[in-house]
Amino acid sequence: MVADFHIPFHQGEDTQMLLTKHEGETFLNQTVYISGQAFIRCNFVACTLVLRETVYHLEGCTFERCNWHVDWVLMWGSPESLREIKALVTMIEQAQQQQIPPSASQPAAAGAPRITPAADAAQ
């Protein structure tokens, strides 16, 4: 999955934040702190990605078998904070969908048990 994702920093007109830039790097089986960093065309493989509530930039990155640790305050009555977290979740969903092998996305064979979230809750 190639991601283009950026959360703008909104704390006053004159506030500027410098990000540590990583370009074309591959991160393998590492814990990577996304917050306060800019990642351009980087590859993340089997990483734990930690995202706290601050500015960051992801552009043209790929994610393979990564876990996400997201610490984010969703402010009551703030449509902007909801849009930002929804965009992040959408990006993660797209990355996971691209990692599913074609045979796994096929419907289950007739008679095979199907597990759904509702079935899980009832057990």
In a domain, 108, yes or no: no
Mind listing the pLDDT tens digit for each residue in 67-86?
999 888 888 888 888 888 88
In a domain, 56, yes or no: yes
In a domain, 83, yes or no: yes
Q: H or E element: which one contains 70?
A: strand 67-71
| Alpha carbon distance 79, 119 (integer Å) | 32
pTM comes to 0.64
Q: How far is CA 53 from CA 56, 60, 66, 74, 102, in A?
A: 9, 21, 19, 10, 35
In a domain, 111, yes or no: no
| Alpha carbon distance 8, 19 (integer Å) | 12
Q: Which domain holds residue 44?
A: 2-10+17-101
In a domain, 119, yes or no: no
In a domain, 122, yes or no: no
Count of domains forming the chain: 1
Mind listing the pLDDT tens digit for each residue in 95-110?
788 777 666 555 544 4
89: closest CA among 74, 66, 105, 68? 68
